[in-house]
């Protein structure tokens, strides 16, 4: 088992037809490895360092940085973590060395017995979801596969947030809900996956 803490709840809101405010959910996983998932915008480094200090974690104590995809609000502070292996979507690297992994064929990337990285394309064609075994069950840190819990009943929310392949995203949303007890969406608070949610998502495929 490991512990998962959502350091910041993501959000997104439209200001007018030309501007929106958005930042991503940022999560910390503590266990055999210390892992940070989605590092917000480049202007949030002080916030992240302060939040980590609350768990007695310094940036150099992080073993893996995972960005669920390569958009600017999910990668902004990856360079705080220079002792860590970096996973950005389907790309796995440490310094200039790249580790090849067949995410394209649907293969999970295994970090330890409690943490796996699952390819879940849709929002971008190389999105990943982090599956974490915790005391409260499996938590899926899903990035923008889910925008927030409201996007289940109102799919225009995730579709208008941008989807490079909506059909694939629908399929992966249903698949992740099938295996997860909780979901941390990219731009909203963590929510519990109910049978009703699973049924609704499988009907949308």
Residue 105 Cβ, how far from Zn ion at the closest point, in Å?
25
Residue 8 Cβ, how far from Zn ion at the closest point, in Å?
13
Whichever of 155 and 186 has its CB closer to Zn ion, that residue is 186
Whichever of 144 and 151 has its CB closer to Zn ion, that residue is 144
Choose among 165, 81, 182: nearest CA to 121. Answer: 165
Joined together, the tokens standing for residue 25 give 């959910």
Say whether residue 151 binds Zn ion (CB under 5 A): no
Residue 102 Cβ, how far from Zn ion at the closest point, in Å?
25
44, 127, 144, 151: which one contacts Zn ion (CB under 5 A)?
144
Q: From CA 57, how far away is CA 115, in angstroms rounded?
A: 19
Choose among 193, 41, 33, 201: nearest CA to 117. Answer: 33
Residue 73 Cβ, how far from Zn ion at the closest point, in Å?
5
Residue 113 Cβ, how far from Zn ion at the closest point, in Å?
29
Residues of span 2-31 touching Zn ion by CB under 5 A = 24
Q: From CA 169, how far away is CA 95, in angstroms rounded?
A: 31
- CA–CA distances in Å: residue 67 to residues 18, 129, 191, 199, 200: 26, 9, 20, 29, 28
* End-to-end Cα separation, the chain, in angstroms: 32
Query: What track of x and - describes contact with Zn ion for positions 24 through 63 (by CB under 5 A)?
Result: x---------------------------------------
Residue 52 Cβ, how far from Zn ion at the closest point, in Å?
21
Whichever of 127 and 144 has its CB closer to Zn ion, that residue is 144
89, 185, 186, 188: which one contacts Zn ion (CB under 5 A)?
186
Sheet of 85-88, strand order: 3-8, 26-30, 35-37, 64-67, 85-88, 91-94, 97-99
Choose among 25, 190, 26, 29: nearest CA to 114. Answer: 29
Whichever of 4 and 26 has its CB closer to Zn ion, that residue is 26
Q: List residues binding Zn ion (CB under 5 A).
A: 24, 144, 186
């Amino acid at each position: 088992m490991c512990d998962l803490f959502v350091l910041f709840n993501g959000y997104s809101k439209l200001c007018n037809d030309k501007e929106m405010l958005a930042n991503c959910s940022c999560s910390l996983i503590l266990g055999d490895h210390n892992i940070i998932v989605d590092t917000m915008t480049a202007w949030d480094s002080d916030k992240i360092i302060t939040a980590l200090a609350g768990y007695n974690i310094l940036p150099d104590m992080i073993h893996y940085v995972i960005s669920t995809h390569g958009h600017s609000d999910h990668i902004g502070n990856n360079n705080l973590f220079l002792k860590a292996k970096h996973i950005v979507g389907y790309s796995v690297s440490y310094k200039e060395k790249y580790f090849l992994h067949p995410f394209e064929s649907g293969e999970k990337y295994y970090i330890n017995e409690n943490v796996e990285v699952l390819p879940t394309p849709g929002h971008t064609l190389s999105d990943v979801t982090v599956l974490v075994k915790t005391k409260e069950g499996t938590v899926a840190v899903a990035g923008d596969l889910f925008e927030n819990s409201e996007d289940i009943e109102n799919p225009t929310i995730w579709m208008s947030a941008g989807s490079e392949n909506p059909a694939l995203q629908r399929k992966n949303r249903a698949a992740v809900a099938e295996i997860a007890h909780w979901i941390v969406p990219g731009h909203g608070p963590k929510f519990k996956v109910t049978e009703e949610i699973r049924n609704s998502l499988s009907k949308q495929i």
